[in-house]
Chains A and B, each alone.
Chain A
Amino acid sequence: MNEKLKLLRDFMLEYNPSVPEEIDTSMQIIADLGFNSLTLIELVNDAEDRFNVVFEDEELAKIQTVGDILGMLEQKGASF
């Protein structure tokens, strides 16, 4: 697991204690990591402050996998 993925995993853990030790970009946030629609929204909202980025409302609907959120963070120049 690379450093950014590890940081994202630690951040996710604050919202859902069942996030496994090892995650990969293909994992689905709801189906595989056990988030629900509300904790996912909370995660994305708080990720704006934590990583200093802005997610548009339309982007939220596109987030399904760990790779989706990681990709968006990288694309937005997130401060990891």
Chain B
Amino acid sequence: MKTYTNIPAPDKKIVTTYRELLEKMVDSRPDMPLISLLNYKTNEKKNIMPAEFLHSVDMLGRWFAAHGCKRDNVAILADNSYEWILTMFSVICSDNILVTLDKGLEMPSLEYIIENSDSKVLLYSAAFAEKAKTLAEKYGLDLYAIEDISQFIAQAEELPDNGKIETDCDAPAILMYTSGTTGLPKGVILSQKNTLSNLQYAAMQDDYSGDSVYLLPLNHIYGLGSALLITFINRNTVTINTNMRYMMNDILAGKPEILFIVPLFVQTLYNAFRKFLKAKGLADKIDAMIAENNRKGNVTAAEKRAMFAEVLTFFGGRLSRIVSGGAPLDMESCNGFADFGITVLNGYGITECSPVLAVNPIVNNKPESVGKVIKSLEVKIENPDENGYGEICAKGSSIMMGYYKNDAENAKSLIDGWFHTGDKGWMDDEDYLYICGRIKNLIILANGENVSPEEIEGFIYQQIKAVAEVVVYDKNGHITAQIFKNDDYIQENGIEDAENYIRDAISALNLKLAIYKRIAEVEFRDTPFDKTTSKKIKRIL
């Protein structure tokens, strides 16, 4: 077993700024749509061409400059939309820093991030108007509705042209908050070069090209980086889903050749497909064909896709690869897709690595691994045990610049240029990585969301005084709170059925939490938790 790999970057020029990337799109694929959007009411498609997009990026950038934005932190709290993508490119290309806000976050976390990030401007979409106004008043932000962007562009077209705005590819460009193990989110600073080098090298790993449908929230690095930018880098068209309700409409209209999604989507799409086959009365016939293919053993993926072409129109008819990342892959749906000739490629990324660390190639795909370490990165397994299991650490051009205003975390995570991922893993002789646990205390959900148990425990301690001690943990994919009751408080306040009282309080708390952070199960214990010598709860249950 290996504990170190250093796969050199190919001798190929890469682009290092977002504007350069767009200029390349304009030159190399002027007539191919960059972005496609489906009107869910009329079912009409609108295509955005590269030159049109670059013009809008420049104009919106000019508008930001005219409003005094220069190296300012510009936050965005919005649903997926074309305007979101336009804002991202414009903020970065006009030499400002994009602060991405998770739209599912509860108010206290949003307030913390806005304050911690020193944001000056906030762009929001209609659904978040109320939250945005509250934030703007409290923190003195300039507030703009993303729906008004076309007006801003029109205004900018009337402004004098002061030439192209130059940006430094090594300067901070994106500030993205990730769950911290202390309960407070940490701002990951990424430069343009961080993300662009990472994704260009990841794109060279194998053929991940093809038209795609974007299904993930834009504020997530995996979605933003991989699903969006890799499609741009590979010179294909990406159809943007702006409402999860119409996911299948986008898939049918966008006819993806490749999808970049999280395991929850892999599973949901596969289940929906099986349900469709059942409803059509085809399940038995198809299962028999699959069994026959498995018996033969030498049927290629392309032959399977041809054999099942009629039913694969469920996914638009062109899908051949799915890249899955953000959480452990469900092998049942992975194998299920393989039966139809659709290869699921497991990968591994982390915001701090901009994000891809490893991804499986199509040939020699090892789905139980998270793939081969991408070119340009050095990866080592630190302090391996007798099995070769240790902490995965990475070094290279895509490692973050650091955590924003967080020297303590920087000192812990970045040591001699090595980023310590907090994930435990091992590496085989062919540079494939395998994840076998976590050193950091985070819950990773199937949708790729990382949840800090300490953050949720903090909310419980603040709001439910009848709880003396609590440990939040992942129980078979469900966020579970194990509680030791505060008998003194319960007696003093004459609470009769303490367990019901606490359950009700947890339900009330859930309503205030982001959906993915909600506590699904409550357990009670009769004794306090074991403690360390420094009186911290030992989290092993």
Total A-B pairs in contact (CB under 8 Å)? 41
Interface string of A25-43 (1 = CB under 8 A from B): 0101011101011110110
CA distance A30 to B516 in the complex (A): 9
- Please indicate the chain A residues that have their CB under 8 angstroms from the CB of B383 in the complex: none
CA distance A31 to B272 in the complex (A): 22
Chain A, range 57-80, C-beta contacts under 8 Å to B: 57, 60-61, 64
B243:A64 contact, CB within 8 angstroms: no
Whole-angstrom distance between the Cβ of B262 and the nearest chain A Cβ: 10
- How large, as a class, is the contact surface on chain B? 20 to 34
B510:A31 contact, CB within 8 angstroms: yes
- Please indicate the chain A residues that have their CB under 8 angstroms from the CB of B490 in the complex: none
Known: A36-B264, A36-B446, A38-B268. Contact between A30 and B515, CB under 8 A? yes
Tell me, yes or no, whether A45 is within 8 Å of chain B by CB. yes
- Please indicate the chain B residues that have their CB under 8 angstroms from the CB of A45 in the complex: 245
With both beta carbons as reference points, the residue of chain B lying nearest to A46 in the complex is identified as B275
Known: A34-B478, A39-B268. Contact between A57 and B507, CB under 8 A? no
- Please indicate the chain A residues that have their CB under 8 angstroms from the CB of B245 in the complex: 41, 44-45, 57, 60
A38:B518 contact, CB within 8 angstroms: no
With both beta carbons as reference points, the residue of chain B lying nearest to A14 in the complex is identified as B275
B447:A31 contact, CB within 8 angstroms: no
B268:A42 contact, CB within 8 angstroms: yes
A42:B446 contact, CB within 8 angstroms: no
- Please indicate the chain B residues that have their CB under 8 angstroms from the CB of A36 in the complex: 264, 268, 446-447
Tell me, yes or no, whether B34 is within 8 Å of chain A by CB. no
With both beta carbons as reference points, the residue of chain B lying nearest to A37 in the complex is identified as B515
A37:B244 contact, CB within 8 angstroms: yes
Whole-angstrom distance between the Cβ of A49 and the nearest chain B Cβ: 11
Interface string of B251-268 (1 = CB under 8 A from A): 000000000000011001
CA distance A31 to B504 in the complex (A): 13
- Interface on chain B toward A: helix, strand, loop, or mixed SS? helix
CA distance A34 to B445 in the complex (A): 13
Whole-angstrom distance between the Cβ of A37 and the nearest chain B Cβ: 6
Which residue of the partner chain, among B127, B268, B520, contacts A31 with CB atoms under 8 Å? B520
A37:B520 contact, CB within 8 angstroms: no
CA distance A36 to B127 in the complex (A): 21
Chain B, range 216-244, C-beta contacts under 8 Å to A: 243-244
Whole-angstrom distance between the Cβ of A12 and the nearest chain B Cβ: 14
CA distance A45 to B40 in the complex (A): 14
Chain B, range 374-427, C-beta contacts under 8 Å to A: none
B265:A38 contact, CB within 8 angstroms: yes
A31:B519 contact, CB within 8 angstroms: yes
With both beta carbons as reference points, the residue of chain B lying nearest to A61 in the complex is identified as B127
- Please indicate the chain B residues that have their CB under 8 angstroms from the CB of A31 in the complex: 507, 510, 518-520
CA distance A72 to B519 in the complex (A): 25
B447:A37 contact, CB within 8 angstroms: yes
Whole-angstrom distance between the Cβ of B128 and the nearest chain A Cβ: 11
Whole-angstrom distance between the Cβ of B217 and the nearest chain A Cβ: 10
Whole-angstrom distance between the Cβ of B69 and the nearest chain A Cβ: 31
- Please indicate the chain A residues that have their CB under 8 angstroms from the CB of B519 in the complex: 31
Tell me, yes or no, whether B541 is within 8 Å of chain A by CB. no
Which residue of the partner chain, among A37, A38, A57, contacts B243 with CB atoms under 8 Å? A57
14 new A-B contacts, CB < 8 A, other than A37-B244, A38-B447, A64-B511, are A30-B515, A30-B518, A30-B520, A31-B518, A31-B520, A34-B478, A34-B520, A36-B268, A37-B515, A41-B244, A42-B268, A45-B245, A57-B243, A61-B127
What are the nearest 8 A-B pairs in CB distance?
A: A31-B518, A38-B268, A31-B510, A31-B520, A41-B244, A41-B245, A30-B515, A36-B264
A–B complex contacts, Cβ < 8 Å, 14 sampled: A28-B507, A28-B518, A31-B510, A31-B518, A34-B478, A36-B264, A36-B446, A36-B447, A37-B515, A41-B244, A41-B245, A45-B245, A60-B245, A61-B127
